[in-house]
Amino acid sequence: MKIIVCLKQVPKNDSILRINDQGNWIQDRDLTYEINESDAYGLEAALQLKEKQGGEVIALSLGPARVQSVIKEALARGADRGIHLEDPAFDKLDAYGIAAVISAAAKAEGFDLLLTGLQSDDYGFAQTGVIAAELLGLPHATIVMDVQPGDGSLRVKRELENGYFQWVSMPAPAVLTIQSGINTLRYATLKGIMGAKKKEIKKLDVTALGIDKAALAPRMEFLRVYVPQKSKQTQFIEGSPAEIAASLMEKLRNEARVF
Amino acid sequence: MANGILVYIEHVDGKINRASLEAVRAAQLIAGQTGQEISAVVLGQGIGDIANEIAGKKLNSVYTVENDWLKTYTADGVTHALRQVIEQTQPALVLLTHTYEVRDFAPKLAASMNRVLVGDCISFRIENGKAVFTRQVFQGKLAADVVPVGDTPHFVSFQIGSYRGDESEAGQASVSALTVNLDADLVRQQPEERFKEAKAAVDLSQAPLIVSVGRGIKEQKNIEIVKQLAEAFGAELAASRPICDNEWLPMDRQIGSSGQTVAPKLYMAIGISGAIQHLVGMKGARTIVAINKDPEAPIFEIADYGIVGDLFEIVPALTAEAKK
C-alpha cells in the first residue's frame, strides 16, 4: 500500500504570536515550529498501516525551506521518502490553493491512500484534504479514527457528534482526514534519525508540478487579524493560593451564587 | 443573476439538528441588513415533517429533495444533490452550521463549483454593503476578518453556538419539491449504522456543578487533586479530550464537540486551554472559572473568573477552602 501523508508545519502551540505590520497575519520571525497536531496522528496511522500491510509511506510538506525539518522528522520516525513542495507562488495559500498543489503532486506520484490531519492549528480551515479529494476525483472521509484496508477498498471509522461513530466503506484510492489522539505517536529513534539522512527528499515547484497559477489565486481576503475582544469581562483573582481560594469561594457564594 | 441566501438544514433520525437553526438565525440577521430573500433546503427521504417544521420559520421558501440515495448521509450524495439545488435556485450565499457533517461535504461542494467556503466563522457584519466574516485562527488565540473573493455563490459556515437558533423568527414559508439526479457511480461511500462506543454511564448535561480537567494536569496520578476538589464542591468530574484520549478518565466524562454538551451553574476549567472543540461543549455554563498558567489561553475569553497560576498550588487550596 502506497500512502502519502501530508504534514503541515505550524507555529508551536505555546508560541507568542505578534501581528505583522500590515495587520493581516502574524510575524514569521522568532517563531519556532512543529508538525500540526492531527497531521502527526496521520503520519502515525500511515506508519502503522505500513507495518501491517507492507508498502511505502511518503511524507509530503508544502512551504519554505524550514518545512524540511518536518519531512526529516517523519523520515526519522519511519517514512520512506519525502516530497517538499516549495515555490514563492506557494506563499500564504488558502485551503483551495494548498489542496491544488498537494493534489497535483499526489497525482504525479500515484498512491492508494492520501492522508491529512483533520484541520490545521493555524488557519483551521479543515478543508484541505476534502478539496484535494474533489480535485483528484476521489472519494473521501473526514474525522477518521480507524482504517481497515480491503481489496481495492477501505472501511474507515468516522467520528460523529454526541459520542456517535460510523463505519463507512469506499473504493480506494481515497483521501482521509485523520482525527487527533487516535493512536500513540512514536518518537524517532537514534537509528531512525541516522537512517533518515540517506532517504530521498524530492523538491517540486510550480513548474515541475505543471500548475496553472490562476488556480492558486486567493479565494478569500484577510482584511485584518487581531486579538479577539472578550465576550465576557473576566475578573482575574490574584494573591497567594490561599488568598485566591478564599476570594474565589466568596465570589462564587455571594456574587455568582452557585452554592 | 444570483441572489438570496440558501440555508442547509441537517437532520438525523427524523429530527432537525438544532444547530442548523443557528444558520437560519444568521441568515435572518444578514437578510435584515441586506434585504435578501432566504430559502432553506432539506435533503433526504421521508422529510415532510422536517420541511414543515422549518417552514414555520421566517423564510421565503423551503425546498425539499426526496431521493433514495439521500436516505442516509454520504458526502458524495449530499454534495451532488445540493449542487443541483444550487444550480436550480441560484443563491448568492449558502449558509451552513459548521457541524461534523458540514465539515465532511461543504469543502468538496464549494470546490466542485470552483467557489470559496469561508468555514467556521463566528460572526458577520456588513461593511460598505458587503458581508465581512470573522473567524478564529490559531485555535482562537487570534481572530481574522475575512471576505470571500470571486464569483457567487459564496459558501459560509458558522461555528456551533455563534447564533441563537432559539431566537430564529417564526413565519410561514412555502414548501416546494425539487428533483435531483443521483446514481451509484456518484455516491461512492457506503455508510453503516451509527453507533455509540459504550453507553454513556454519566449524563453530565444535568449536572449543576462541573469541575473539569485538561492537559495542564500533566500526569494521570495528578487527576486525584481535581477529583478531591470535585468531591469538596459536590460537583461532577469532567475532562477535555486529551485526558479521555489518554484514557486517564473514561470517555463518558468528555466535554466538547465529540463528547457531551453541558450548561451547568458552575463550570470550573482546570488546566484546560480552551480549544474551540472544548468551548462549544461548555460555553453555555452560567458561571465559568478558569485556572491556567498561560494568561493568553483562550479559556479566559469566556471565563467569568480567571486565575493565572499553578493549578498544583491553587486546586488544593480551593479544596481546603471549600471544606471549611
Cell of B241: 479530550
pLDDT value, residue B201: 63
Does residue B140 sit in the same domain as residue B256? no
Q: How confident is the model at residue B198 (pLDDT cuts 50, 70, 90)?
A: low
B88 in contact with chain A, both atoms CB, cutoff 8 A = no
Residues B213 and B115 in one domain: no
- Would the pLDDT of B21 be above 90? yes
- For residue B85, give the C-alpha cell: 439545488
From A133, which residue of chain B is nearest by alpha-carbon distance? B108
Q: Are residues B30 and B94 in the same domain?
A: yes
Q: How many CB pairs under 8 A join A and B?
A: 237
Does residue B128 fall inside a structural domain? yes
In a domain, B193, yes or no: no
- Where residue B129 falls among pLDDT bands split at 50, 70, 90? confident
pLDDT, greater one: B206 or B109: B109
pLDDT of residue B310: 97
Q: Is residue B131 part of a domain?
A: yes
**Residues in Cβ contact with A86 at an 8 Å cutoff, skipping those fewer than 6 apart:** A62, A63, A64, A65, A67, A203, A204, A205
B149 neighbourhood in chain A, CB within 8 Å: 218-221
Residue B192 lies in a domain: no
> Which chain A residues are within 8 Å of B266, Cβ to Cβ?
252, 256, 258
On whether both B247 and B115 belong to a single domain, the answer is: no
Best probe of the A interface among B113, B133, B137, by most A CBs < 10 A, is B137
- Identify whether B196 is part of a domain: no
| Last residue of one domain, picked from the residues B138, B163, B178 | B178
Name the phi and psi angles at B259, rounded to 5: -120, -135
Cβ of A90 under 8 Å from any chain B Cβ? Answer: no
Return the residue of B nearest to A253 by Cα: B322
Cell of A110: 500515484
Q: Find, in chain B, the residue whose alpha carbon is nearest to that of A118.
A: B103
Domain that holds residue B273: 204-323
Do B164 and B308 lie in one domain? The reply is no
Chain B: residue whose CA lies nearest to A99: B111
**Is residue B142 located within the same domain as residue B267?**
no
- For residue B210, the cross-strand partners are B236, B267
Q: Are residues B147 and B10 in the same domain?
A: yes
Residue B287 contacts A where some CB pair is shorter than 8 Å: yes
State the CATH number of the domain containing residue B98: 3.40.50.620
C-alpha B5: how far from chain center: 20
Closest CA to B133 of B163, B156, B111, B153: B156
Average pLDDT, chain B: 94
Q: Say how many CA atoms lie within 13 Å of B289 toward its Cβ.
A: 28
Q: Are residues B233 and B124 in the same domain?
A: no
**Which of B143, B178, B213 is a domain's end point?**
B178
Domain match, B166 and B249 both: no
Q: What is the distance between the alpha carbons of residues B41 and A41, in angstroms, rounded to a whole number? A: 36
CB atoms B289 and A252 under 8 Å? yes
pLDDT tens, residue by residue, B245-285: 899 999 889 999 888 888 899 999 999 999 888 998 998 89
Scanning A131-160 for CB atoms below 8 A from B yields: 131, 133-135, 139-143, 158-160
Residue B199 falls inside a structural domain:
no
pLDDT in tens, chain A (259 residues): 999 999 999 999 888 899 999 999 999 888 999 999 999 999 999 999 999 999 999 999 999 999 999 999 999 999 999 999 999 999 999 999 999 999 999 999 999 999 999 999 999 999 999 999 999 999 999 999 999 999 999 999 999 987 789 999 999 999 999 999 899 999 999 999 999 999 999 999 999 999 998 889 999 999 999 998 766 789 999 999 999 999 999 999 989 988 8
Q: Is the pLDDT of residue B200 over 60?
A: no
ipTM field: 0.92
User: Which residue among B104, B120, B149 places its CB closest to the CB of A221?
Assistant: B149
pLDDT of residue B203: 79
B190 assigned to some structural domain: no
- The β-bridge relationship of strands A9-11 and A33-35 is antiparallel
Same domain, B158 and B33: yes
Q: Is residue B38 part of a domain?
A: yes
Asked whether residue B1 carries a pLDDT value surpassing 50, the answer given is no
To probe the interface with A, which of B141, B152, B160, B228 has the most A CB atoms within 10 Å?
A: B141
Catalogue the long-range contacts made by A87-91 (C-beta closer than 8 Å, 24 or more residues apart).
A87/A205, A87/A206, A89/A205, A89/A206, A89/A211, A89/A213, A89/A216, A90/A62, A90/A63, A90/A206, A90/A216, A91/A64
Contact assessment for residue B7 and residue B20, using Cβ atoms and an 8 Å cutoff = yes
Residues 34-73 of B with CB under 8 A from A: none
Distance between A52 CA and the closest CA of chain B, angstroms: 23
Among candidates B75, B245, B317 on the partner chain, residue whose Cβ is nearest the Cβ of A241: B317
Domains in chain A and their CATH numbers? 2-216 (3.40.50.620), 228-259 (no CATH)
Same domain for B47 and B157, yes or no, is yes
CB contact under 8 A, B137 and A224: no
Q: What is the CATH number of the domain that holds B299?
A: 3.40.50.1220
pLDDT digits (tens, 9 = 90+) for B297-318: 999 989 999 999 999 999 999 9
Residue B211 and residue B143 share a domain = no
Q: Is any Cβ of chain B less than 8 angstroms from the Cβ of A198? A: no
Which residue, B178, B213, B241, sits at the end of a domain?
A: B178
Total structural domains in chain B? Answer: 2
